[in-house]
Chains A and B, each alone.
Chain A
Amino acid sequence: MIIEDVLCPFCGCLCDDIKVEVEENQIVGVKRACRLGSSKIRGHERIKAPMIRVDGKLVETTYEDAYEKAARILLNAKRPLLYGWCSTVCEAQKKGVLLAEELGAIIDSTATVCHGPSIIGIEEKGLAGSTLGQIKNRADLIVFWGSNPGEAHPRHAQRYSSNSQGKYTPEGRKGRKVIVVDVRKTRTAKNADKFIQIRPGTDYEIISALRMIVAGKGDTLPEHIAGVSKADLEEVAEMMKSARFGSFLFGLGLTHTRGRYKNIDNALSLVAALNSHTKFVVMAMRGHYNVTGFGQVCAWETGFPMSVDFSRGMPYFNPGETAACDVLGRRETDAMLVIAGDPASNFPKTVVEGMADIPVIQIDPFENPTTYLSDVVIPSAVAGVEVEGTAYRMDGLSLRMKKLVDSEYPSDEEILANILECVRRLRDDN
C-alpha cells in the first residue's frame, strides 16, 4: 500500500510530498524524501522497553513503574527542567507546557542551541517574512548567510528556494541569483553566483557595513571591513537593491557565532531597510521539523516562545537566565526530563557534565547519547510515522503529520499525560 503526501518528520522543510510504501504494518519503501528524512521514516533500532537505572545499570521495567518514578523525581525537584520538544508533535508539546505549569518547572526547546538568538533578535526588531511559497514564486535573489541547506536542508533548494519554479520564476535557477556568505566554501556556496567568505565572528560588522552601503553612506567606509573588500560588499548591496524580490535565509552560522542575537538583530534591520528599495523577506532556516511548532504552542499558551520558568506560578521568560543551557551550565537544576531531543550530543561539554549529576528522564523512540545519562528511559512511538499530529514548518505554516503504521509504543502525548496523572495523584496524597 502506498501512502501519498506524507510529511517528513526530520527537518524544518517539512516536505509533505513523500510517498511511503507500507506492507503488513512495516515501512518497506520511501520515495522523494532526502536520505535524512528517508532514514528517519524507515526508522532504526528502537529502545525495547522502559528502563530504570539501578546500581548504575539500566534495567527493564513496566511503563507504570517508569511513570511513577519519573513523577517522583519531578515532584521532588525544586527546579526541574523539561527540555527537548523539537521532534515531536504539538499535541505532545501542549502536554509538556501543562506539566511544566503544574510542576513549577522550566520548559525549553532545542531552539536554545539553535535559533534561540533569532527569537531574541525578533523581539528587538520583528521579522519581515513570508511563507516559503512566496520565495518559490517570486524570489529572483536568494542570500544564504551562515546557512548550508545543501547539507542541512537537502530539498530546500528544489522545493522552495534556489532551484524552485513558480508563477513569477518560471526559469527556476537560471532566473535568479544566489549569494552565499559563510566562513568556508560550503556545498551551498559552490552553487552560488557570488560567494563572500568572511572571518568567523565578523558578521555583525559586515552587516552594519552593508546597511551603510544600502543607505547610500558607503563613502564613509574603509576599503576593507573585517577583511572583506568594500567592492565586494557594494556588489552584494547592488544585487540586493536591484532584485525584484530578495530573500535572506540564515542559519546557525549567524546565530552561533560571536554576536549571536545581535547578528540576527542587525540582519533583521538590514532586511527592513532593504524594503524601502525593493521587496525583501527574511527566513530563519529552522533545524528540526517541529521546533517552530514548540515556539508557537508555547507562545499562545504562556505568552513566550521558549525558556519559560513556572517556578512562581506564572510564566517568566528570560533567556540568559531561564534557558536550558543557562540552568544546566550553572548547575542550578536538580532534575531533567528530555523528550524528542538529544542534549548529550548537542550541548556544550560543561553543560552535559551538569546533566550527569542530576536525575534525568528520557522519552524517545531511539537510543542516543542522552540515554547513557538517563535514570528513567521511556520509549515512545515515532511522531509522524506511528502517531499523527500537528507540526509547524520553518515559515510558520502548520500541517498535519500522518500515522503510517500501528505501534505498540505509547505516543509522547500519552506518556506525558500519564506522568502528569501520577504527579497529580502523588501531590494530592501529600
Chain B
Amino acid sequence: MIIKGGTVYDPTNGIFGEEMDISIENGKVVEKAKTGDVIDAKGLLVMPGGVDAHAHIAGAKVNTGRIMRPEDGRRGLEPKTKLLRPSTGYTVPNCYAMGYRYARLGYTTTFEAATPIIESRHTHEELEEIPIIDKGALTLFGNNWEVLECARDGDIDKLAAYISWGLRASRGYGVKVVNPGGGEAWGFGGNVTGLDDPVPDFDVTPREIIRSLMKANEMLRLPHSVHLHTNNLGKPGNYATTLETLKAVEDIASSMDRQVLHITHMQFSAYGGTGWRDFESKAPEIADYFNKHDQFTMDMGQLIFGSATTMTADAPLEYANARLLHAKWSNHDIELEESSGVVPLSYGRKMPINAIQWAIGLELALLTESPWKILMTTDHPNGGPFVNYPEVMTLLMSKPKRDEEIATLHSLVPKRSTLATLDRELDWGEIAIMTRAAPAKILGLKDKGHLGIGADADVTIYNLNPEKIDPSKDYKKVKEAFSLAKYNVKGGEVVVKDGEIVSLPQGRTYWVDATVPEEHALRVEADLVDKFTKYYSIQKSNYMVQDAYVTNPMVVKAGVI
C-alpha cells in the first residue's frame, strides 16, 4: 500500500508537514512498496496512528462501572450492523464500542492503565474482546505485600525478581504505582498522608516504595519507566506532595533512553490552596519543574464537562469523592495486592472546583515547553471519555476556543488559574507529539508513534489540509476532522474509511517478559509459596494468567543484564 502525497507529521523522525509518500508492506513501513493499493492523501493531514498511554479500558474496575451504571449503558447506543456488534455506553462503553470508537478517532494503540495481578485474567478477557487496536496493560505494584516487604528491606534484587514474576503472572507491560502504601492502609480503612507516612504494619514509607520500585524497574531495563499516580491525589495543596515526590527521586538514573518516572493525570496532582474554599491551580509550579528537569514526563488528565465515571486504585480517594458528592460508591479491595473504587459523577461548568480543574489540565500542557514531556489524556473515564480527545486537542490549538469556553465557566477561573492569560496555541506537530510520538517513546514502544522504516504501519489520515486550515480560527472543523478519521490504517490494513469501520483485525497484546538471576527468582518463589499457603484465598498454581487469555501476544524482552 502507498499513502500518496499526504502532508505528513512524523515528529520522531523530524518530519513536520512534508508532502511525502508512506509505503507499507507486510504491516510495516518500508522504503518503497512493490505493489498494492494507493490511497490518495494529497492535501490531507497524515500522522502515525494515535497512541493512548493511559486509559481505563478493560478489567474489573471498568466492568464494575458498567454494572453499576445502566443509565450510562443506555447512552451511546448503536445497533449492530452486518460487520459490527452493538455499541453501548458513554463513559463505560462495552468492549466493541471501545475498539470502534478509538479506531474512528484514528487511534491504533491503547494501554490499560492499571491491572491488579490476581485479577489480570479478567483484564485480558476484556482486552481480547476489544477489536482493532493494539493494547497492553500496566500492572499494579504499589501496595503488594511482597513489594512493601522488599522495599522495607531495601532488597532491590528480590523486588526486581518479583516484578519480573508479577509481569509474567499478569502478562503486564510495566510497573504501575497508585497511591503507594495508601492502598494497603485502606485495607483497614486508612490512608497515607504523605511520602514519609509509614504504612501500618509494614514499617515502610511511600518514599521507600517509590524509590525501590524505580530502582528495580531500571535494573530490569523495562521498556517503560515506573508510572506513578501520586499520594494525596485530588487534595487541595497536593502539588507540594507531587514536587516532593519528584525531588525524592532526582538522583535515580534511567537505564534506558527514556524518562525515569512518568507521573500520570497530573491535573489531579497540581492543586494549591488549603481546602476547597481557596482551591487554586499550581500548574505553573509543576510545569516549571518539568521545564527544568528532563528525566520526568507526565500526562494531562484533562477534565471534560458532563458525565464521567471515576475509577482508580486510589480507593480512599473514591470513598471521599462519594461522601462529598453523595454519589454511588463501589469499592473493591484485593487481597495482598491493591484496592480500588468506582464513583460516577458529573463535572459542571458552573461548579467552581470543576471549572478550575478543567483549566489546570490545559495550563499544564501550555506551560510545559516541550510537548515530549506531556501527553494528551483525560484519564478516561475519570476526567472524561476518550471520545472527547478532539475537544482537548482543539482547546490546545486555539486560544479563541479556550476564551469562548472560559466565558461559560464559573467566574473564579481567571482568579485561580493562569489559563486565560496564556496565548500559546499548539501546532500540528506538537499535537502529533502529544498524541503519537511522545506516548510511544514514553512507553518504550519503538515501532509505534512514528512512520520511519520498520515502524508498524499504523497511519491516520484526517480530513483536513493543515496548510490551509487555521486551527486557531477553524477549531470546529478541526474537531470534526479529528473525531472521524478519513482513513485509519492499522498494521497496513484499512480499518476505517470515511469514518466507517471497514475491517476488524485483532490487535496484539504487548507484555514484558523480564529475566532475572535464578538466585533471586528462587527467593521470591519461597516468599510466594509462604504467602499462598497462609494468606491468599487461591492456590498458587491457579494464579497466573494462562496462554489462553492472550491469543495474540507481542512479547517484549527485558531483564537484568
A–B pairs, 26, beta carbons within 8 Å: A90-B125, A123-B70, A125-B329, A126-B343, A130-B331, A130-B334, A133-B335, A244-B188, A245-B188, A272-B322, A272-B329, A296-B122, A299-B67, A300-B129, A301-B94, A302-B94, A303-B72, A303-B89, A305-B66, A313-B80, A314-B77, A314-B79, A315-B73, A399-B121, A399-B542, A400-B548
Tell me which of B347-355, B421-429, B431-439, B531-539 binds A: B531-539
Whether B70 contacts A127 by the Cβ 8 Å rule is no
Whether A126 contacts B68 by the Cβ 8 Å rule is yes
Tell me which of A159-167, A206-214, A367-375 binds B: A159-167
B339's nearest neighbour on chain A, judged by CB, is A130
B124's nearest neighbour on chain A, judged by CB, is A398
A389 to chain B, nearest CB (A): 9
Whether A131 contacts B121 by the Cβ 8 Å rule is no
B331 to chain A, nearest CB (A): 4
- The reply to whether the CB of A58 lies closer than 8 angstroms to some CB of chain B is no
Residue of B69, B93, B189, B336 with highest tally of chain A CB at under 10 A: B189
Per-residue CB contact flags for chain A residues 368-401 toward chain B (1 = under 8 Å, else 0) read 0000000000000000000000101000111110
Chain B residue numbers with a CB within 8 Å of A276 are 323
Whether B63 contacts A159 by the Cβ 8 Å rule is no
Residue of B67, B77, B85 with highest tally of chain A CB at under 10 A: B67
Contact of B328 among A124, A244, A302 (CB under 8 A): A124
Q: 14 more A-B contacts (CB under 8 A) besides A136-B535, A300-B94?
A: A7-B542, A128-B329, A128-B330, A129-B330, A272-B329, A281-B333, A302-B86, A310-B86, A312-B79, A313-B79, A313-B86, A314-B87, A317-B70, A398-B122
- The reply to whether the CB of B78 lies closer than 8 angstroms to some CB of chain A is yes
- The reply to whether the CB of A16 lies closer than 8 angstroms to some CB of chain B is yes
Whether A281 contacts B334 by the Cβ 8 Å rule is no
Whether B96 contacts A101 by the Cβ 8 Å rule is no
A272–B66 alpha-carbon span in the complex (Å): 20
A64 to chain B, nearest CB (A): 27
Where chain B touches its partner, the secondary structure class is mixed
Chain A residue numbers with a CB within 8 Å of B126 are 300
- The reply to whether the CB of B385 lies closer than 8 angstroms to some CB of chain A is no
- The reply to whether the CB of A4 lies closer than 8 angstroms to some CB of chain B is yes
Where chain A touches its partner, the secondary structure class is mixed
B536's nearest neighbour on chain A, judged by CB, is A133
B330's nearest neighbour on chain A, judged by CB, is A126
- The reply to whether the CB of B560 lies closer than 8 angstroms to some CB of chain A is no
- The reply to whether the CB of B60 lies closer than 8 angstroms to some CB of chain A is yes
B78 to chain A, nearest CB (A): 7
Contact of B335 among A98, A137, A303 (CB under 8 A): A137
A278–B539 alpha-carbon span in the complex (Å): 30
- The reply to whether the CB of A304 lies closer than 8 angstroms to some CB of chain B is yes
B95's nearest neighbour on chain A, judged by CB, is A300
Chain A residue numbers with a CB within 8 Å of B336 are 133, 137
Contact of B125 among A101, A305, A317, A398 (CB under 8 A): A398
Whether B538 contacts A399 by the Cβ 8 Å rule is yes
Listed from nearest, the 6 A-B pairs whose CB atoms lie closest are A133-B335, A303-B88, A303-B73, A133-B537, A279-B189, A313-B79
Q: A101-B80, A314-B78, A400-B542 are in contact. Are A128 and B73 (CB under 8 A)?
A: no
Chain A residue numbers with a CB within 8 Å of B63 are 296, 299-300
B316 to chain A, nearest CB (A): 10
- The reply to whether the CB of B159 lies closer than 8 angstroms to some CB of chain A is no
Whether B66 contacts A299 by the Cβ 8 Å rule is yes
Per-residue CB contact flags for chain A residues 202-240 toward chain B (1 = under 8 Å, else 0) read 000000000000000000000000000000000000000
A335–B67 alpha-carbon span in the complex (Å): 28
B319's nearest neighbour on chain A, judged by CB, is A275
Chain A interface residues (CB < 8 Å from chain B): 4-5, 7, 16-17, 90, 98, 101, 119, 122-134, 136-138, 159-160, 166-168, 244-245, 272, 275-276, 278-279, 281, 295-297, 299-305, 310, 312-317, 390, 392, 396-400
Chain B interface residues (CB < 8 Å from chain A): 58, 60, 62-64, 66-70, 72-74, 77-80, 85-89, 92-96, 118-119, 121-122, 125-126, 129, 187-189, 201, 319, 322-323, 328-336, 339, 342-343, 534-539, 541-542, 546, 548
Whether B74 contacts A317 by the Cβ 8 Å rule is yes
Whether B537 contacts A132 by the Cβ 8 Å rule is yes
A398–B545 alpha-carbon span in the complex (Å): 10
Whether A130 contacts B537 by the Cβ 8 Å rule is no
Chain A residue numbers with a CB within 8 Å of B93 are 303
B546's nearest neighbour on chain A, judged by CB, is A400
A141–B125 alpha-carbon span in the complex (Å): 34
Whether B189 contacts A275 by the Cβ 8 Å rule is yes
A158–B104 alpha-carbon span in the complex (Å): 51
Whether A390 contacts B125 by the Cβ 8 Å rule is yes
Whether A138 contacts B187 by the Cβ 8 Å rule is yes
B116's nearest neighbour on chain A, judged by CB, is A131
A317–B72 alpha-carbon span in the complex (Å): 12
Chain B residue numbers with a CB within 8 Å of A297 are 125
Chain B residue numbers with a CB within 8 Å of A316 are 74
A139 to chain B, nearest CB (A): 11
Whether B67 contacts A397 by the Cβ 8 Å rule is no
Whether A278 contacts B189 by the Cβ 8 Å rule is yes
Chain B residue numbers with a CB within 8 Å of A126 are 68, 322, 328-331, 342-343
Contact of B67 among A166, A279, A305 (CB under 8 A): A305
A272–B129 alpha-carbon span in the complex (Å): 33
Whether B70 contacts A314 by the Cβ 8 Å rule is no
A119–B122 alpha-carbon span in the complex (Å): 19
A279–B67 alpha-carbon span in the complex (Å): 23
A124–B74 alpha-carbon span in the complex (Å): 15
Chain A residue numbers with a CB within 8 Å of B79 are 312-314
Chain B residue numbers with a CB within 8 Å of A301 are 85, 94-96, 129
Q: A134-B334, A134-B335, A313-B80 are in contact. Are A123 and B86 (CB under 8 A)?
A: no
A257 to chain B, nearest CB (A): 23
Contact of A137 among B66, B94, B328, B535 (CB under 8 A): B535
B88's nearest neighbour on chain A, judged by CB, is A303
Q: A101-B85, A126-B328, A400-B548 are in contact. Are A17 and B539 (CB under 8 A)?
A: yes
Chain B residue numbers with a CB within 8 Å of A304 are 66, 70, 73, 88
Whether B73 contacts A317 by the Cβ 8 Å rule is yes
B73's nearest neighbour on chain A, judged by CB, is A303
A308–B329 alpha-carbon span in the complex (Å): 24
Whether B542 contacts A131 by the Cβ 8 Å rule is no
